[in-house]
Amino acid sequence: MAEIDHLNILPRPGRPPGGTSITPFRSWSRSRIASWLADHDGVTSSAGTLIEGLCALLQEHGVPLWRVSLALRDSHPQIAARGVVWYREQGTKEQDVLVNDASGEMYATSPVKVIHDGAAAVRRRLCEETCPMDFPVLHELKAAGGTDYLAMALPFSDGSRHFISWATDSDGGFTADQLEHLVDLMPLIGLRLELDHARLTTRTLLTTYLGPEAAQRVARGTIRRFDYEMINAVILYSDLRGFTVMADTLSPSTVVRVLSDYYETVAEPVRYFGGDIIKMIGDGVLAIFPLAADAPRERIDRTACGAAAAVRRAMSALDAVLIEDLPPHMRTLRAGFSLHAGEVFFGNIGSPTGWTSPSSGRPSMKPCGPKRCARNWAFPSSQPKPSPGSNVR
């Protein structure tokens, strides 16, 4: 691979002048693009929306962009990075990079890895015959008409490194003034992307660890001790059978795998039918199917039927899970399920500094044993009589 010289992005002093129609960039305070980046107007933009708007402004200012690519590392358990690709003719496409793909050959042979490993920038003048073609993406871009490519690091304030690249199909590639314009704007581009991405990451982490319902409440500011509200919901509780024996006889790694298979098998149908996983407690799963306070009877019936359908699908899926390491007397995973409906209060309970992960907890019904942990729980405010078949086992 050719040596990467991030200090040589711009032509050396003594370059011939002229050949550019770009408006000189002298001060952020007088730059329309800089003002647009700094003034978010209290609105959080997606990375795709931000890149699309930025590219439009840069083109108006004489930067002949053809393609822009962005990769922002993420804290999602299944997504390694949030990607955006913009083409002048095709517009913006957002595409996530899965965790498994982030360790593959495509990543290992890309400029993204070089930037992540510490390079500040990588420039390849595709219009020159002597241009090093040391990344597969360069062959694709040159074949499609690209003439210049510049990849740059986006350092965030938490120390993480992210990636953005600029490409043009203009004759001769980027001019010195055009590159200077991009380089000068990079601090503001990074700040704006970090601000919006931080909010997305916060929502992702809250949803991953709390569930959508609790995450929305926390994001709205329902974070004080004793904060609560009354909601109507169908509540589902599931308990994995034989877990004590498994925990005593299986290796820790196998126990983790068994629990993960169980959680996934129960959670998928719950979410499919409109439910929200509130808490995974050891070998138990607690979920709610929220109902509007003024929900008509038919809506309540549909929600209850959806919860029951989730239970049936989860039970069928558990029967299909085959784990070779299970104890001899256990051929498949089995679980008990219970459904209940009524009004509950959803709120924060605990010591002033003793929060672990806010959650919604037990409806007072038979299948749920008492819990002594003071957390963010939901309790029925009344005891509606369960309808026949409300306990499914």
Residue-wise pLDDT for 137-187, tens only, equals 999 999 999 999 999 999 999 999 999 999 999 999 999 999 999 999 999
Q: Average pLDDT, stretch 263-269?
A: 90
Distance, CA of 169 to chain centre: 33
Least confident residue range of 42-56, 253-267, 344-358: 344-358
pLDDT for position 370: 30
What length does the chain have?
393
> Does a structural domain hold residue 34?
yes
Last residue in a domain, options 183, 209, 235: 209
Q: Please report how many Cα atoms fall inside a 13 Å half-sphere around the Cα of residue 343, on the Cβ side.
A: 8
Q: Average pLDDT, stretch 7-28?
A: 45
Residue 375 has pLDDT above 60, yes or no: no
> Does a structural domain hold residue 36?
yes
Last residue in a domain, options 209, 226, 246: 209
Q: Average pLDDT, stretch 311-337?
A: 78
> Does a structural domain hold residue 246?
yes
Higher-confidence residue: 137 or 244? Answer: 137
Q: Find all residues with CB under 8 Å of 24, minimum gap 6, and list them.
A: 177
177 and 221: one domain?
no
Residue 201 has pLDDT above 90, yes or no: no
Report the alpha-carbon distance of residue 241 to residue 386 in Å, rounded. Answer: 23
Last residue in a domain, options 209, 224, 254: 209
Instruction: Residue 59: give the domain boundaries.
Output: 6-209
Report the alpha-carbon distance of residue 38 to residue 187 in Å, rounded. Answer: 11
pLDDT for position 56: 95
pLDDT for position 16: 40
Residue 70 has pLDDT above 60, yes or no: yes
> Does a structural domain hold residue 143?
yes
Task: Classify burial at 161, counting beta carbons within 10 Å of its beta carbon; exposed 0-12, middle 13-18, buried 19 or more.
Answer: middle
The predicted model scores a pTM of 0.65
147 and 279: one domain?
no
103 and 226: one domain?
no
Residue 120 has pLDDT above 60, yes or no: yes
Q: Average pLDDT, stretch 106-121?
A: 92
Least confident residue range of 107-111, 186-190, 219-223, 311-315: 219-223
pLDDT for position 345: 75
Residue 76 has pLDDT above 80, yes or no: no
191 and 216: one domain?
no
141 and 105: one domain?
yes
Q: Average pLDDT, stretch 103-108?
A: 81
Q: Average pLDDT, stretch 363-368?
A: 36
> Does a structural domain hold residue 67?
yes
Higher-confidence residue: 258 or 25? Answer: 258
> Does a structural domain hold residue 1?
no
Residue 344 has pLDDT above 70, yes or no: yes
DSSP strands (E only) in the chain: 67-73, 79-87, 91-98, 121-124, 148-155, 161-168, 228-240, 276-281, 284-291, 335-347, 378-380, 391-392
pLDDT for position 152: 96
What rounded mean pLDDT belongs to the chain?
A: 78
In Å, the largest CA–CA distance within the chain is 87
245 and 180: one domain?
no
130 and 238: one domain?
no
pLDDT for position 217: 73
Summarize pLDDT for 29-46 with one digit per residue, the tens.
457 888 888 887 777 788
CATH number of the domain bearing residue 81? 3.30.450.40
> Does a structural domain hold residue 244?
yes
148 and 234: one domain?
no
284 and 267: one domain?
yes
245 and 150: one domain?
no
Confidence of residue 386 (pLDDT cuts 50, 70, 90): very low
Q: How far is CA 291 from CA 62, 211, 230, in A?
A: 54, 16, 11
Instruction: Give strand pairing partners of 257.
Output: none
Residue 226 has pLDDT above 80, yes or no: no
pLDDT for position 209: 74
Least confident residue range of 50-64, 86-100, 362-376: 362-376
Higher-confidence residue: 20 or 181? Answer: 181
> Does a structural domain hold residue 198?
yes
151 and 285: one domain?
no
Q: Average pLDDT, stretch 298-319?
A: 87
Least confident residue range of 53-57, 206-210, 274-278: 206-210
CATH number of the domain bearing residue 289? 3.30.70
123 and 269: one domain?
no
Report the alpha-carbon distance of residue 345 to residue 381 in Å, rounded. Answer: 7
Report the alpha-carbon distance of residue 339 to residue 386 in Å, rounded. Answer: 8
State how many domains the chain has.
Answer: 2
